Structure 1
Amino acid sequence: MKIKQSGTLKVAVYKDFAPYSANDEGIDVDIANALAKKIGLTLSLLPFQARDDVNDDLRDMVWKGHYLGYGPADVLLHVPVDRRLMAENDKVEIFAPYHRETIRLVRDIRKVPDFENLDSMTGKKIGVEKLSMSAVLMLGAEDGKFRENVKIYSTAAEALEHLKTGELDGVLAARSEIESVLRNDPNFQISKVEFQRLSSAGWVVGMAVKKDDVELIKLLQDATNELVSSGEMTKIFAKHGVQLVTP
């Protein structure tokens, strides 16, 4: 088997993407280590900066490689398990879903004690990450009603730190990002928010490899199944303060 002969599993993870992968740490980094160990290979981590489009990430890190000579990896983690994305990328196999992600609003209950819907945040300062789904949703919500009070930060983690220091009243971000920073602090409450442009059920993430690499697909799927069934996957998420939501 080609991958066994190489002795190494090259895993691509996103840069600056806490709590999943940042500074060679995070949930996806731990998953990469666990997968390599299950298969009996040495891990080679390939962190990379996300492009504007997931299709570009799949091309650069899965089936072709970056034009600057970086990649491809054997597998890319944290890929949306999405039918449309699969249809647009016939050179890759997207499989092994391991977590369901959702967008949530977290608020400081000392400043906003009651929450019914987004209108409860009228006039309140809300933090979002730049160029994120949360930013698009918050800036466009109710014809821009909240726009003047939306504060933009370089990362969701930075916005959440400003929430902790009292500079913000709330933050819209991925649930995992919220959980990893706030760690069940009783002063902050997470709530579901309805947006026309986003299903409240969120989206599922898995991994991607080259379409024709059937043996590697089976190895990774089996290893992922073992991580889930043994409870190791839950422990990896919990280590970073995040509750695993099985797809």
Structure 2
Amino acid sequence: MRLKTLAAAITALAIGAVAPAFAAETVKVGVTTTGVPFTFVDTSSQKPTGAMVDLAQAIGAEAGLATEFEVVAFSALIPSLTTGKIDLISAGMLATDKRREVVDFSAPVYTYGEAMFVPADEPANYTLDDLKGATIGAQVGTTFADALNARGTFGEVKLYDSIADIMRDVKLGRIKAGFGDKPIVAYQIAQNPGIGLRLVDGYQPLKAGDVALAVSKENPGLLEKVNAAIAKLKESGELAKIFAKYGL
């Protein structure tokens, strides 16, 4: 009896010691609520949703990772990643050389550029040269905000925390035109016909680039898992389905 009891105890200890190894690793994913349809909050559930949220969940399922979402302002995403508050960024963020200096990016998952938008009753399809000396708006932390500033031809490039804030000021006439991620702006205008804004026809983006997920340079193992999962999702067609669900 003592031998059986001892054997049972050893078995229980062995199971207990091994069990944690099978528990899914939890990855904190940083998202922003201002990036419809990439990332936003579902008003009915008050939970993060969008194409990049679905993608992060699909990557987690493929890689055996549990995903936990943290809502972070766009401009604070990279600082949150580099300080360890989050493990992964999954948002409508372009993989630029400047950002690559501080974080590592996954394989590209989507490509887009910025759009110019004006009041719906403004008939002119402005070019950037037409806006010389005018006050325009762009979202802080975006690549095209830097590019617009670098032109040095505008009266002011006002920086905003969200595209919604830019849209408000364009509609109210506080700024001449607004600039934002084209998929996000197009989606919001299409979903809200009474918003009083329109895209400028024929505008050619200053900055077009690839959307990718970002990880800390100190976490190459996670990057490897994310890239392997993305490759499988592309091959199966699931990646395209995720973006198509949100009109992208």
Alignment TM class, shorter chain as reference: 0.5 to 0.7
Q: Structure 1 pair 37/4, CA: closer, same or farther in 2 (3 Å)?
A: farther
Quote the residue 1:95 is aligned against.
106
Give the superposition deviation at 1:151. 6.5
Q: How far off is 1:224 after superposition?
A: 1.0
Name 2:153's counterpart in structure 1. 143
Which has more helix, going by share of residues?
2
What are the ranges of 5 or more consecutive residues in structure 2 without an aligned counterpart?
Answer: 1-19, 42-47
Identity %: 19
**1:183 aligned counterpart, secondary structure:** helix
Rate the CA distance shift 1:93–1:52 in 2: closer, same or farther, 3 A: closer
Kept in 1, the 8 Å contact 2:170–2:178? The answer is yes
Q: Is the 8 A contact 1:103 1:134 kept in 2?
A: yes
- Structure 1 counterpart of 2:39, from 21, 33, 36: 21
Q: 1:181 to 1:11 in 2, by over 3 A?
A: same
Task: Show CA shifts across 1:4-54 (max 9, x none).
Answer: 733144142233332233331222211111112223443222333455694
Question: Distance between the aligned counterparts of 2:95 and 2:143, measured in 1?
Answer: 17
Matched residue pairs, number? 218
* TM-score, structure 2 normalization: 0.65
Gaps of 5+ in 1: 195-199
What residue number does 2:226 align with?
A: 220
Tell me the C-alpha RMSD between the 2 structures: 4.0
Q: Secondary structure at the match of 2:115?
A: strand
Distance 2:208 2:21 in 1: 36
Q: Give the SS at the match of 2:122.
A: coil
Residues 99 and 39 (structure 1), Cα distance of their counterparts in 2 relative to 1, 3 Å cut:
same
Q: Which amino acid aligns with 1:31?
A: L
Q: Which residue of 2 aligns with 1:175?
A: 182
- Choose which of 117, 124, 138 in structure 2 pairs with 1:128: 138
The separation in 2 between residues aligned to 1:52 and 1:231, in whole angstroms, is 32
Counterpart Cα distance in 1 of 2:104 and 2:149 = 34
Give the alignment partner of residue 166 of structure 2, picking from 144, 159, 165. Answer: 159
2:115 — aligned with what?
A: 104
> Secondary structure in 2 aligned to 1:96?
coil
Normalised TM-score (structure 1): 0.65
